[in-house]
Structure 1
Amino acid sequence: MNSQTQNQVTIRTATEEDMTWVNNQYLSIGFKLSDFERELIAIAEVNGEQAGLGRLQYIDKGSAELGGMYVHYAFRGLGVAGRIVDHLVKNAAGYQKIYCLPFAHLQAFYQKFGFAPEQELTKVPRVVLEKHNWCNSSYAHKTLLFSLTRDI
């Protein structure tokens, strides 16, 4: 993208009609496919072109996991990922606790949104702990366990 071009970034919540596109993106990068009924999915568009996505996955009453963050290479550096995270956190109605498993090199990025290292591991849902362990045994980059506690 030409840096002198004014880019209009918009974020919207995915509809059921978007699910083929959403899951094709996740399929192309080896991520778990989305389940529309159990997730809040955000789609970023730059100048009307689909540029990236992210999601909040339901864990249990009151908690979710932020993940599935992906921005197409052509749109990186435009603040798209930050806009997706901001949209998801602001629209996380009913979730008091949001977990996030970022790669260590993305720590500062997630901290800008209020995420911090989880201190109470005994209270973390088993599914999040298992995914955290899986990530650290499967990826070359270290994965952190962050959370954000919200007033609801």
Structure 2
Amino acid sequence: MSIKRVTPTELVWVNQQYERIGFQPSTLDHEVIAIVMSQDHFAGVGRLVKLNEHEAELGGIYILDKFRGQSLAHEVVSFLVEESKRLGLKTVYCIPFEELQHFYKKFGFHEFDISAPAVDSKILTKYHWCLETYDKNVLLLKLSHD
């Protein structure tokens, strides 16, 4: 297993995966995108989307079916959480499906009052889009780096 940041050439593969599962496409403009490799094959992907200078959204975590059960999602999220610290971000939001709440709590994500005035409007828009788009319930979680 290895994990690395995506290059422009690999972005095509990333967006093909996201298109297959109904996720929004990625760009390298304001995103850190990670690919996890297993046995020299692309096995999964995740991203950290900068909302502003101090905040980002962690999302797009997807492991291909044949590579599941190898803790690769854990590796992707760990990598991106460390990247968020390295970038000096103060807050990282995540909008997971409800059944993944316990997984994200392992990394320090927690539920919070979404009516708080400090919540970035882009993340609220995305959260409402997810609620309307997906058949499963989603949560809005937050990780703070102090």
- Fold shared per TM-score above 0.5: yes
Q: How far 1:31 sits from its partner (Å)? A: 1.3
Q: How far 1:17 sits from its partner (Å)? A: 2.2
Q: Distance in 2 between matches of 1:40 and 1:148?
A: 17
Cα deviation code 1:92-138 (max 9, x no counterpart):
11211000001110000000000001236321111111111121122
Which position in structure 2 is the counterpart of 1:24? Answer: 16
Identity %, equivalent residues: 39
4+ long deviations beyond 6 Å = none
Match for 2:138: what amino acid?
T
Match for 2:103: what amino acid?
F
Unaligned runs of 5+ in 2: none
Match of 2:73 among 54, 70, 81: 81
Match of 1:118 among 86, 106, 112: 112
TM-score by length of 2: 0.93
Which position in structure 1 is the counterpart of 2:124? Answer: 129
Other structure's SS at 2:24 match:
coil
Q: Distance in 2 between matches of 1:111 and 1:124?
A: 19
Other structure's SS at 2:29 match:
helix
Q: Distance in 2 between matches of 1:141 and 1:27?
A: 18
Which position in structure 2 is the counterpart of 1:138? Answer: 133
Q: Distance in 2 between matches of 1:102 and 1:27?
A: 17
Match for 2:124: what amino acid?
L
For these two proteins, the number of residue pairs brought into alignment is 143
- Of structures 1 and 2, the larger Rg is shown by 1
TM-score by length of 1: 0.89
What's the RMSD between the two structures over aligned residues? 1.2
Q: Distance in 2 between matches of 1:36 and 1:25?
A: 16
Cα deviation code 1:32-68 (max 9, x no counterpart):
1111121000100011110000000010110000011
Other structure's SS at 2:70 match:
coil
Q: Distance in 2 between matches of 1:128 and 1:85?
A: 18
Which position in structure 2 is the counterpart of 1:68? Answer: 60
Match for 1:97: what amino acid?
T
Moved more, 138-147 or 67-76: 138-147
